[in-house]
Structure 1
Amino acid sequence: MEGQFAGLIALLLCAVALVWSFKRVGLPPILAYLLTGLLAGSYGFGWIDNSHEIQLIAELGIVFLLFSLGLEFSIPKLMAMRSVVFGLGSLQVLVTTVVLAVILKYLGFNWIEALIIASLIALSSTAVVVKELKERGILNIRRGQLAVGVLLFQDIAVVPLLITIPLLSQSDNQVLVGALILALAKGAFVCMLLWAIGKWVLPKVFNEVAMARTDELFVLTTLVVALCAGALTYAFGLSMALGAFLAGMMLGESQYRHQLEAEIRPFRDILMGLFFVTVGTQLDVSYVIQSFFYIILVLTLLIVLKLSIIFLLAQLMGERRKDAFAAGILLWQMGEFGFVLVALAGKHQLLSTEAASFLIALGVLSMALTPYLISETDRLVKLLRIDSEGRPGPHEQGFITSSKVKNHVVIFGYARVGQTIARFLRPEAIPYIAVERNPAIVQEALTAGEPVVFGDPTQQEVLKSANVSEARLVIISLNDFDKAQAVIDAVKRFAPEVKILVRMKDDTHLEALKELGATEVVPESLEASLMMVSHVLYMSGVPMRRILKRVSIERQNRYEYLHGFFTGDSQEMKEYAGPEGASYSSDRLEYLHAIALPDDAYAVDKSIAELDLARHKVVVKALRRNGEEISIPDEDTTLCASDVLLLKGKPRRVERAEQFLLDGLP
């Protein structure tokens, strides 16, 4: 037990270190998990054994992945994709299997071996492809829909393969046909059963759970639904992933869809990581080294053959060349169910040990290469001059064509403020490109055809993709000083001459942002105050021209009239400071403080110039004497007993200035 626990700790530490390292250099986490499995498996340090229990837990990652995928694809959406699922999907599996089987037969394999190898190579990796689509925010654009549609049919096609392979060792054809018919009947029944449960039972269950207003209960119910759906299809001899997908699809139209996906995501991501670790444990490095030339050769042929088949079939279905090519890049690899089929065929002596080892190595390496090829899709399209016909899709509008846009506005942050800015730019025919890190916002915006890209605005590649160097204006609407600071620094290094407009909650960092290179800083709270003042003055009868002039002057003076307020007690100071709290305000924010001068005060009978309050870094905003207020009194004004001075400054400085005015202490 102690050895297993130590192995688990070593596995987790290795995974954390590798995922962090890979993310730092811009590589996908999938590669980190595969390398972790390689190090931790029986061919590495042996931290974990690739037992049935470990594989079962890892398979739950695929279950949760397909459940969240089902939430994205409701029944109406799936019906709209039926030509892709049952048209392109069926053709891809059939044509790839036949072509590969003929090639393998020509190379000396018998028909049974050729058909088994061809059918499992025809399958692609749902785990790798869907994870990449989600992370890159391209799940709902055309290339993503083509890939998902084909993957769904492949997952359905796994069922007859799981039934057929054990029966191929028998010679009775009637048994084989009967088993296939029974499998189809089971599949139809369980689909109808899950459809009924999802339509009439699950909405009521989640209504009751939501009424309880308990987060733990909602999470637990989500997990139970996904696992029970998978267990139901598994009990009928189908894959657990298929059941989870059907359950998610049933809930895809409910009002709980986004909450369900949020609750399932942590479990899905962790278990998906474990799944890729188990895949990595199956790679025998010594065998790869021995057969390196042949593996690379077959890997190259696999890319060319499978990509070409998908590319041609998608075009025959009426898809654009660019989307067809991108779908081929997404689907060229072998899939996770291929490992299951290899093990099943080996168990029934339908594949030799050498062939099984070769296929496992081929599958792992193809899955490892896929994220890199996906990231290079656009570059390959340009390199191979695969032109796109017709109107660009939403993804291409936001990313591919961005390099061609000039004299445009770049919006970093496409939440409420960013989207509002875009809505006002559009009617004025001002081109813009938005960059957002929230994949959900990116997906929704891309689906709506808006020019939005997913990425970190501090990365040079993202700035290139948005063509910041040719922009007329960069808008930073992130509402976080540290992030805004990093973005300004990155933009200024990339395009020193571009103008930068920054949106902040208040004016706390106004001067700091100006020094960093921001052209203008818009503090939300101060602008809201100006708008309120404008309405008050207008409703009080002040002419609009005069109001606009006052507001314009205030902006030119950097909101000088709006700085400094009476803050009262510590709670009011905390509210004034915002979420950072009162301690933060004492260091950063300025406020007003009234000081009444008694008869024996040090400042009495001295002029403001003599007191030299500037060395205390405070400002005299007003002087009240005999019920009248003198705004910003002259330096020559002599102070009298009973005068009230209004000082503006940071709290500690105002305290020191008050001691000086009253007692003469420096």
Structure 2
Amino acid sequence: MEHNLLFNAMVYLAAAVLVVPLAKRLALGAVLGYLLAGILIGPYGFRLIGEVEDALHFAEFGVVLLLFLIGLELEPSKLWSLRRPIFGWGGAQVLGVAAALCGAAILAGIDWKVALIAGLGLSLSSTAIALASLEERNLMPTPAGQAGFSILLFQDIAAIPMIAIVPLLGVPEEAGGGGNAWQAVLKVVVVLAGLIVAGRFLVRPLLRVIAKTDTREIFTAFALLMVIAISLLMQWIGVSMALGAFMAGVLLADSEYRHALESDVEPFKGLLLGLFFIAVGMSVDFAVFLAQPLLILGLVAAFQVIKIAILYALSRILGMARGQHLQFALLLSQGGEFAFVVFGAAATARVFSSDVASILVVVVALSMVVTPLTLMLYDRIQAWRQGGAGGRKASKKKADAIEPNEDHVIIAGFGRFGQIVGRFLHANDVRLTVLDHDPDQIEVLRHFGFKVFYGDATRADLLRAAGAAKARAVVVAIDDIDDSLALVDTVKRDYPDLPIFARARNVTHYYQLMDLGVTMIERETYESALKLGRTVMTEGLGQSAYRTRNAANRFRRHNKQSLEAVYPYYKDRETFVSLSKQAREELEEMIARDRRAAEEEKTHYWD
């Protein structure tokens, strides 16, 4: 068994590594690549994998992690502010598509129960495919992207009651079993209430304790443990694992550990979600397709035409930009991951036969394959039309875009230096995202309304999760010099246009930052020491403020010139020491000239 497990893992990874890059190179997208990889290694390809059902059940955890990450993005306050697009637009989409498909099926002579479950299942879209397509085309900030995200979120929520009502329409397995219905409902309510309390008063303190160990793998292990435990708990009470994962994400969305959790879970989500799509490709029953190819192709075409028509009409009602109606409809036109769960539950409850379930699964899988192709065709048609339409049309298209919905400054390190920068910016209404790795410090700052997140800012995945791509600037205020340089190197590599404002601990650190191309640098004690020197001269020695200010300006100017002059030689120790001595001698000469000038001015005044 161990041999089979390792062999299967090797086959999955090899298929993904070989097929997905090729699919992306051909502009087919990663999702389609995973689906094709699954088809190739599955029962109707090279038959390298036999246990398709086991793989699909295991890979469903990728969808669970996806919903956990979606929940992390939605603070309760943000979720409440989006209630209208989520429940209004999302409800209209699901009900509209389900009613149209159900009505069409009933007119075709299909039993109303089969038509209802099929319509509800097919009304769901693929969260993974749609979100990936939105990100690839940079559409998330646009009205189409925002509406699509809201509708996908509602679909993820709506899948839960869909799965719950399937047994009510099926054939009862035992008489008299309905007496436990109220107990089941009570169990769900109690568990959900317990999750809310535990998320607020148990999980966060535990995260704080684990964060203090400063052991990243234990933090990652706890994140996975939490998601798995909550998912299994929800499954135990008869509710979808996805609901538990989504709720866990929402409960932790306003936590200071949100970005750290997101960056730790993201790699597992991506890998398992890829495995999920491979398993979907493997599960496509080509025997069913070859037995009735015209029927299945007709169902795919009818399903997508009806769904695209409803989505197109909805986009016009929502008042989207004129050029985004069809694009929005195509993005959500495919079947979704939860359709497999709904149809599986329907077959188990005997709402319809396993043959009908197999046909619908093939229809959904083929719609997933078709969607990336139709989007690619749409993009090429749009590019061709814009290329031949002249400047006026191109300018119209450009005007449809909106500004990104994030406009913030990232502060990495919120110690004694970063605090002052952060407080000043915060007081002047600058939106901040603060990254720090001290749990006690974070907890104190949260009480004062600062948005502080736990995590190692030098990690590229954490920077991406914190919104570095949409930030206006990053302030590097980390205490450790090596970490500071590592962060600058990461930002320069991944976000070359992002302005960097850095804190230098000493002159060598200053030069190292210059080596990396940073030009906006402040030495942490320099200005405060110079200001104290001015105070000593004015308050302690009674000299004029005007004279001390001029002296400080001269000192600052000379010091900067000296730093820049010595910089090319700072790695050559002998030359560096020689030039530093020369700079000190020049400073002494300047001070002597200042004294002589002051004495002459004083003598001239008394004369």
Give the TM interval when normalised to the shorter protein: 0.5 to 0.7
Aligned to 1:75: 76
Instruction: Tell me, yes or no, if the aligned pair for 1:11 and 1:47 is still in contact at 8 Å.
Output: no
Distance 1:216 1:486 in 2: 27
- Give the paired residue count: 500
Aligned to 1:394: 403
**One-letter identity of the residue aligned with 1:41:** G
Distance 2:287 2:90 in 1: 36
User: In the TM superposition, what is the alpha-carbon distance from 1:312 to its structure 2 partner?
Assistant: 2.6
**One-letter identity of the residue aligned with 1:225:** M
Aligned to 1:198: 199
Aligned to 1:279: 280
Distance 1:415 1:560 in 2: 32
Instruction: Tell me, yes or no, if the aligned pair for 1:334 and 1:367 is still in contact at 8 Å.
Output: yes
- What is the SS of the residue equivalent to 1:48? coil
> RMSD over aligned Cα, in angstroms?
5.4
Instruction: Tell me, yes or no, if the aligned pair for 1:484 and 1:502 is still in contact at 8 Å.
Output: no
* CA 97–5 in structure 1, closer or farther in 2 if over 3 Å, else same: same
Distance 2:75 2:490 in 1: 40
**One-letter identity of the residue aligned with 2:567:** L
**One-letter identity of the residue aligned with 1:249:** V
Identical counterparts, % of pairs: 29
With 347-356 and 380-389 compared, the bigger mean Cα shift is at 380-389
- What is the SS of the residue equivalent to 1:254? coil
User: In the TM superposition, what is the alpha-carbon distance from 1:309 to its structure 2 partner?
Assistant: 1.6
* Aligned counterpart for 1:445 among listed residues 470, 486, 492: 470
User: In the TM superposition, what is the alpha-carbon distance from 1:87 to its structure 2 partner?
Assistant: 1.7
Q: Deviations over 1:7-52 (max 9, x none)?
A: 4322322222223434455543222222221122222223323355
Please give the TM-score of this superposition, normalised by the length of structure 1.
Answer: 0.59
Distance 1:266 1:25 in 2: 24
User: In the TM superposition, what is the alpha-carbon distance from 1:255 to its structure 2 partner?
Assistant: 0.9
Aligned to 2:22: 21
* CA 160–479 in structure 1, closer or farther in 2 if over 3 Å, else same: closer
Aligned to 2:95: 94
Aligned to 1:36: 37
User: In the TM superposition, what is the alpha-carbon distance from 1:121 to its structure 2 partner?
Assistant: 0.8
> What are the equivalent positions in structure 2 for 1:323-362 lying under 5 Å apart?
326-351=327-352, 355-362=356-363
> What are the equivalent positions in structure 2 for 1:144-223 lying under 5 Å apart?
144-170=145-171, 188-223=189-224
Q: Deviations over 1:333-381 (max 9, x none)?
A: 1011211232333345544565434322221232234456567777777
Aligned to 2:569: 564
> What are the equivalent positions in structure 2 for 1:624-639 lying under 5 Å apart?
none
Distance 2:178 2:99 in 1: 20
Instruction: Tell me, yes or no, if the aligned pair for 2:89 and 2:151 is still in contact at 8 Å.
Output: yes
Instruction: Tell me, yes or no, if the aligned pair for 1:283 and 1:364 is still in contact at 8 Å.
Output: yes
Aligned to 1:10: 11
Instruction: Tell me, yes or no, if the aligned pair for 1:113 and 1:351 is still in contact at 8 Å.
Output: yes
User: In the TM superposition, what is the alpha-carbon distance from 1:131 to its structure 2 partner?
Assistant: 4.8
User: In the TM superposition, what is the alpha-carbon distance from 1:260 to its structure 2 partner?
Assistant: 1.2
User: In the TM superposition, what is the alpha-carbon distance from 1:160 to its structure 2 partner?
Assistant: 3.5
**One-letter identity of the residue aligned with 2:569:** G
Instruction: Tell me, yes or no, if the aligned pair for 2:142 and 2:401 is still in contact at 8 Å.
Output: no
Instruction: Tell me, yes or no, if the aligned pair for 1:60 and 1:271 is still in contact at 8 Å.
Output: yes
Aligned to 2:126: 125
- What is the SS of the residue equivalent to 1:394? coil
Distance 1:72 1:20 in 2: 29
Instruction: Tell me, yes or no, if the aligned pair for 2:280 and 2:365 is still in contact at 8 Å.
Output: yes
Aligned to 1:365: 366
**One-letter identity of the residue aligned with 2:229:** C
Instruction: Tell me, yes or no, if the aligned pair for 1:321 and 1:389 is still in contact at 8 Å.
Output: no
**One-letter identity of the residue aligned with 2:568:** H
Instruction: Tell me, yes or no, if the aligned pair for 1:506 and 1:524 is still in contact at 8 Å.
Output: no
**One-letter identity of the residue aligned with 2:403:** P
Distance 1:171 1:57 in 2: 28
Instruction: Tell me, yes or no, if the aligned pair for 1:70 and 1:252 is still in contact at 8 Å.
Output: yes
* CA 372–256 in structure 1, closer or farther in 2 if over 3 Å, else same: farther
Instruction: Tell me, yes or no, if the aligned pair for 1:8 and 1:48 is still in contact at 8 Å.
Output: no
User: In the TM superposition, what is the alpha-carbon distance from 1:155 to its structure 2 partner?
Assistant: 3.0
* CA 169–441 in structure 1, closer or farther in 2 if over 3 Å, else same: closer
Aligned to 1:225: 226
Instruction: Tell me, yes or no, if the aligned pair for 1:105 and 1:114 is still in contact at 8 Å.
Output: yes
> What are the equivalent positions in structure 2 for 1:206-605 lying under 5 Å apart?
206-285=207-286, 288=289, 295-317=296-318, 326-351=327-352, 355-371=356-372, 392-395=401-404, 439-440=464-465, 442=467, 445=470, 562-565=567-570, 592=574
**One-letter identity of the residue aligned with 1:65:** L
Distance 1:376 1:184 in 2: 48
Instruction: Tell me, yes or no, if the aligned pair for 1:307 and 1:329 is still in contact at 8 Å.
Output: yes
User: In the TM superposition, what is the alpha-carbon distance from 1:259 to its structure 2 partner?
Assistant: 1.1
**One-letter identity of the residue aligned with 1:94:** L
Instruction: Tell me, yes or no, if the aligned pair for 1:138 and 1:395 is still in contact at 8 Å.
Output: no
Distance 1:333 1:26 in 2: 19
* CA 78–253 in structure 1, closer or farther in 2 if over 3 Å, else same: same
Instruction: Tell me, yes or no, if the aligned pair for 2:28 and 2:376 is still in contact at 8 Å.
Output: no
User: In the TM superposition, what is the alpha-carbon distance from 1:99 to its structure 2 partner?
Assistant: 1.0
Instruction: Tell me, yes or no, if the aligned pair for 1:481 and 1:509 is still in contact at 8 Å.
Output: no
Considering Cα pairs closer than 8 Å and 6+ residues apart, tell me whether 1 or 2 has the greater RCO. 2
Q: Deviations over 1:95-133 (max 9, x none)?
A: 211111121222332323322221211111233334555
* CA 484–232 in structure 1, closer or farther in 2 if over 3 Å, else same: closer
With 77-86 and 502-511 compared, the bigger mean Cα shift is at 502-511
Instruction: Tell me, yes or no, if the aligned pair for 1:85 and 1:150 is still in contact at 8 Å.
Output: yes
User: In the TM superposition, what is the alpha-carbon distance from 1:202 to its structure 2 partner?
Assistant: 1.9
User: In the TM superposition, what is the alpha-carbon distance from 1:248 to its structure 2 partner?
Assistant: 0.9
Distance 1:4 1:190 in 2: 35
Stretches of structure 1 lacking an aligned partner (at least 5 in a row):
399-413, 424-435, 452-477, 489-500, 514-520, 566-588, 596-619, 630-666
User: In the TM superposition, what is the alpha-carbon distance from 1:75 to its structure 2 partner?
Assistant: 1.1
- What is the SS of the residue equivalent to 2:569? coil
**One-letter identity of the residue aligned with 1:72:** E
User: In the TM superposition, what is the alpha-carbon distance from 1:64 to its structure 2 partner?
Assistant: 1.3
Distance 2:272 2:27 in 1: 22
User: In the TM superposition, what is the alpha-carbon distance from 1:73 to its structure 2 partner?
Assistant: 0.5
Distance 2:351 2:306 in 1: 25
With 356-365 and 227-236 compared, the bigger mean Cα shift is at 356-365
Instruction: Tell me, yes or no, if the aligned pair for 2:141 and 2:402 is still in contact at 8 Å.
Output: no
- Larger radius of gyration between Structure 1 and Structure 2: 1
Q: Deviations over 1:560-592 (max 9, x none)?
A: 653224xxxxxxxxxxxxxxxxxxxxxxx6664
* CA 72–293 in structure 1, closer or farther in 2 if over 3 Å, else same: same
